[in-house]
Structure 1
Amino acid sequence: MAGDPTSGLGADGFDPIDFLERAVPVASNEDVTEMRELLVGTIEARGIDARVDDAGNTLASKGADPSQASTHLVFNTHIDTVSPHVPFSRKGDDRIRGRGSCDAKGPLSALLTAFFAVDPQESRLTLAVTPDEEVLSTGAAAIDLDADLYVVGEPTGLDVCPAARGRFQGTLTLSGTAAHAAEPESGANAVAGLEDALAAIRTFDDGRQPHPQLGSATLTPTTVTGGEATNQIPARCELVLDRRSVPPETAEGFRSELIAAVRGAVSADLGVEFSLTDRPSPFLEAFATDADHDLVRTLAAAAERAGGPGAVRPFTAATEASYFAPAPVVVFGPGELADDEGAVAHAEREYVAVADVRRAAAALTDAARRLVG
């Protein structure tokens, strides 16, 4: 229709829905090789060089040399999905269903549309697609592009998300002294010490000011183990904690503060240790881009012109966007993490609306042309 910002998509020979219908049937929950081959072939079919680095990232660029580019914009998302694989289906014309349809092959289809459509001259546009976002993010951790702006494709309902909490995980260990349960005073009960430790955890964030975009951090006990026999004073207790952080907290800063808080709460005859879960890549830390930044305002306005809400809000899940901060970064894409019926991403009913993929493609194309085109 006249004035429709989604009209003309695919005029360069690329249709995001056609690509999405080929991508969703490809299982990429256990091995991304076939999906990566589809992506590389799609890029190279348009005469653009694509390379796969040692970390498994797919990289392609257009425009000026990095050393001479006036602005360098990066489009990022991932090709891996969670298990189990959910087969592709399309019922009618309104929704594409299957694993990865919204997380994140729908966003990838929209990003590809804009990447192919925009022709930067003095600026640079890079596509950087990672292989293991749902697991360890070793791909994203290895990306070192030193760019000016980043857009990360995730299901946001076409909202622009310039901030997200981080996620840390670790194990709190209380160590005591084993003894016969008939004479509890002869030992140091690690399980009993958990009562004071949990009190310290509940009050850990008391007095902290909420982040202006993300609100307050959360600290949640998730699993607990302790004791070896029902007639023995337990000498050891382990509690796993989930931390959803806000800036400027770091993983190491959280670890040291938590140890101090618990040490001050439990009995002196108990040992206190806290170990962050071992990872081959850094934790996904919190990030926040100024909501008034040109990247945020430009993409929000473009999303509204494309028929989306154009809202600016925090992203509710941890994301690889944190690896690109403190450079300006936003999360954006078609699809929803959850709708009125329940979970969508990572669920058996995962889907994305065809119209929203096209709107996202139009918004990204519009915004990229204004930022680097």
Structure 2
Amino acid sequence: MSATFDPVDFLVEAVPIDSTDEAVDEMREFLVETLAAHGVEATVDGAGNTVATKGSGDADAPHIVLNTHIDTVPPHVPLERDDAAGVIRGRGSCDAKGPLAALLSAFLATDPGDAGRLTLAITPDEEVLSTGAAALDLDGDMYIVGEPTGLDVCNAAKGRFQGTITLSGVAAHAAEPESGVNTIFAVEQVLSVLRAFDADREPHSSLGPATLTPTTIEGGSATNQIPADCRIVVDRRTIPPETAESFRDALATQLRAAVPDDVGVDFSLTDRPTPFLEAFATDADDPLVETLAAAAREASETTGRTGGTVRPFTAATEASYFAPAPTVVFGPGDLADDEGAVAHAEREYVKTEDVRAAAAAVESTLGDLF
């Protein structure tokens, strides 16, 4: 770790800064000022990304990107520091200002010189639409994405898509049901399609099976009227190599084949200004995965953890925007512990020794890869 930068001190200053939703200006200014204080000039692009680069390697030299986000979910939770327990509490302490502190420490401590390039890319809007990450065009050879993984190295994650199935029929008086087309009856066929959609699909070797779940349903407008429309929202947790477009086309085809001809059926993905977070998977024997896992195991020896396990990340992540380049998700803190939710919860916290261990592991990895 850098002799002049302490990731825990940075975190103690960062957590009190409210960066919920779109209110990230103050946190971004703090990050830019911190980099400047350590001799690094950062730029802020039109999407609000903070980007800084070191090194000047030629085209064949590796370009490694360190990425995480500065926005946090509401409501803001004030800083609470418990030095006796070695814990920092507050919004963003683990998601993802703790990972940011670790990545920033490793970035400041590493000088690739002419052996390659090292980029720190910190995005806004990760918790909503990922407009920052979607705008990045870095052409990296390897990516380390900071999220709370308990010092494990996550080399894969499911994606998440969302869409709406719309059924259309003909309204009529409920006393004369045969004079209309009841869309709610067609829900039976829709649910059969959803249940069987992945029946012939092999699970992913580490991510397991994809899932397709109906989450909301609404239809009809009067209790004595045949409903002429019905809408079902579905949540898709996907595995490679499925894309949003291939999922949409496959489900639409199966629905049309199953739903009665007199019922109109449409399936559309939810409109959003950025691509959906798709599934990604980096080979477990990729040098980035193996190097960081070994470094995490060594760094976590003093923390009481058994860090460095290679496993999938359990939430959707912007890491999918950087694949198929070798990409891993890594950082201090946990999404949840034995007591319940940690990230996004009122009790959000991170252990200071984990922050230091994560910083040491990333720094060691960069030293080995450059």
Which TM-score tier does this pair reach, normalised by the shorter chain?
over 0.9
Q: How far 1:10 moved relative to its partner?
A: 4.3
Please name the residue that 1:261 is paired with.
Answer: 254
Please name the residue that 1:20 is paired with.
11
Q: Which amino acid aligns with 1:347?
A: A
Counting matched residue pairs gives: 362
Distance in 1 between residues matched to 2:252 and 2:238, nearest whole Å? 16
The one-letter amino acid paired with 1:304 is R
- In structure 2, what residue type is equivalent to 1:92? D
CA–CA distance in 2 between the matches of 1:42 and 1:68? Answer: 30
Q: Is residue 293 from structure 1 mapped to residue 282 from structure 2 by the alignment?
A: no
The answer to whether the Cα contact below 8 Å between 1:10 and 1:16 also exists between their aligned partners in 2 is no
Contact kept? 1:36, 1:79, Cα under 8 Å: yes
Question: How far, CA to CA, are the matches of 1:159 and 1:42 in structure 2?
Answer: 27
How big is the shift at 1:268?
A: 1.2
The one-letter code sitting in structure 2 at the alignment partner of 1:369 is G
What does residue 83 of structure 1 align with? 74
Q: Per-residue deviation at 1:92? A: 2.9
- For residues 172-183 of structure 1, the aligned pairs below 5 Å read 172-183=165-176
Deviations 1:305-326 (A, max 9, x none): 1025210000000000000011
1:204-215 paired onto structure 2 within 5 Å:
204-215=197-208
Instruction: Give the counterpart of 1:158 among 145, 151, 156.
Output: 151
CA displacement at 1:69 relative to structure 2 = 5.7
Q: Work out whether 1:72 is the aligned partner of 2:81.
A: no
Residue equivalent to 1:97: 89
* Aligned counterpart, 1:359: 357
What are the superposed Cα offsets for residues 178-203 of structure 1, whole Å, 9 maximum, x if unpaired? 01100111111111211210111011
Structure 1 CA distance for aligned equivalents of residues 266 and 178 of structure 2: 23
Coordinate RMSD, CA, aligned: 1.0
Unaligned runs of 5+ in 2: 301-305
Whether 2:126 is the aligned partner of 1:114: answer: no
Shift of 1:263: 1.5
Distance 2:60 2:51 in 1: 17
Question: What SS does the aligned partner of 1:162 have?
Answer: strand
CA distance, structure 1, for counterparts of residue 96 and residue 133 of structure 2: 15
Runs (4+) off by over 3 Å: none
Amino acid at match of 1:81: T
Q: What residue number does 1:327 align with?
A: 325
Equivalent in the alignment of 1:273: 266
Give the structure 2 partner of residue 43 of structure 1.
35
Whether the 8 Å CA contact 2:166–2:265 is kept in 1: the answer is yes
Shift of 1:68: 3.7
Question: Identity over aligned residues, as a percent?
Answer: 67
Confirm whether residue 284 of structure 1 aligns to residue 282 of structure 2.
Answer: no
* Partners of 2:167 and 2:31 in 1: CA distance: 49
Alignment correspondent of 2:210: 217
> Is the aligned partner of 1:247 residue 2:240?
yes
Letter in 1 for 2:367: R
Secondary structure of the 2:81 match is: strand
SS in structure 2 of the partner of residue 205 of structure 1: coil
TM score, norm. by length of structure 2? 0.96
Q: Counterparts of 1:229 and 1:144 in 2: how far apart (Å)? A: 51
After the TM superposition, which residues 192-203 of structure 1 pair with which residues of structure 2 at under 5 Å, given as runs? 192-203=185-196
